[in-house]
Amino acid sequence: MQVKKILEIIVAVRRPLTIQEMAMVLGIATSSKLPVTKEARCFLEYSVTHWPNHIRNIALTSIQKETDQMHRLYDTSGKPFLIWFPIFWKVVRPYIKNPVINALHLVVFNGYAHEVLSILKMDTSDINTPDNTEIYLVILASLNGHKKIVEILLKRGANVNIQGGRYRTTLQAACLRGYDQIVQVLLEWGAHINTQSS
């Protein structure tokens, strides 16, 4: 009953979830000591679907605890990731099977510029490496309208003319959803407008 009460309180607040609340839900869902009720499952599905949007614009640079919790959620080998990611992917890309994705691809997908910088400070070797669906980071950022991340990736060595995956080139990905500011950035970085996709 205590779990149900906690969930009722959080849902009743009708505001974006914090990282702590998301971590709590994952704790409930993964705990072997607590029964996972139907209500907890529903809340888990809501949480994993919407938490990226709720925290995208939060400045995490000065909030170490929240940053650490986000790192745990993005640990692709951890139990929380194995629970939340399949649910999340089924909602955001129901027509594409779950990709084999690393943390860098996932933070680019979700639009977390701070996390992108944090990961790239440790290692830039994946910057021009696609996921298993052949989508490159700069194409993914262009497709999802993350201008700041496109700029970060290009400054860190991403190839503006890289080709791959269903969206083919950075320009095609940005144009697909009408991100004209990203198109301008890509052109300023030397994107070829006449590139033929293979």
Shared domain check, 112 and 83: no
How do residues 107-119 score in pLDDT, each as one tens digit?
A: 999 998 888 998 8
CB 157 within 8 A of CB 124: yes
**What is the distance between the alpha carbons of residues 119 and 124, in angstroms, rounded to a whole number?**
8
- 72 with 133, same domain: the answer is no
The reply to whether 38 and 75 lie within a common domain is yes
Comparing 148 with 18, the larger pLDDT belongs to: 148
Task: Report whether pLDDT(155) > 60.
Answer: yes
Residues 39 and 107 in one domain: no
Tokens of 11: 């849902």
Q: Say if residue 124 is in the same domain as residue 89.
A: no
- Are 110 and 89 within one domain? no
Residue that is last in its domain, among 80, 98, 116: 98
Query: String of b and e for 113-147 (b: at least 16 CB within 10 Å)?
Result: bbbbebbbeeeeebbeebbebebbbbbbbbbbbbb
Percent of the chain with pLDDT over 70: 70
Domain boundary among 98, 124, 142: 98
Question: Do 166 and 191 share a domain, yes or no?
Answer: yes
Same structural domain, 198 and 105: yes
Section 161-175 average pLDDT: 90
Q: What is the mean pLDDT of residues 142-165?
A: 95
Q: Specify the higher pLDDT residue, 1 or 134.
A: 134
User: What confidence tier does 20 reach under pLDDT thresholds 50, 70, 90?
Assistant: low
CATH assignment at residue 127? 1.25.40.20
What CA–CA distance (Å, rounded) separates 72 from 85? 13
Between the ranges 30-44, 105-119, 122-136, 168-182, where is the mean pLDDT highest?
168-182
Say yes or no: 120 and 136 in one domain: yes
Burial zone of 57 (CB within 10 Å; 0-12 exposed, 13-18 middle, 19+ buried):
exposed
13 φ/ψ sector (left φ>0, alpha ψ -120 to 50, else beta): alpha
Domain match, 90 and 11 both: yes
Cβ proximity of 146 and 117 under 8 Å: no
Number of domains in the chain: 2
Tell me which residue range forms the domain holding 90.
1-98
> 38-47 in b/e burial notation, b at 16+ Cβ within 10 A?
eebeebbbeb
User: pLDDT per residue over 33-85, tens digit each?
Assistant: 555 555 556 677 777 777 777 666 565 545 666 667 777 778 888 888 888 88
In this structure, the answer to whether residues 91 and 165 fall within a common structural domain is: no
> Residue 172: pLDDT above 90?
yes
Tokens of 142: 């262009």
- Are residues 89 and 128 part of one domain? no
- Tell me, what's the pLDDT at 181? 97
3-state secondary structure of 176: helix
Looking at residue 1, its pLDDT comes to 42
Single residue among 39, 65, 98 that ends a domain in this structure: 98
pLDDT at 109: 92
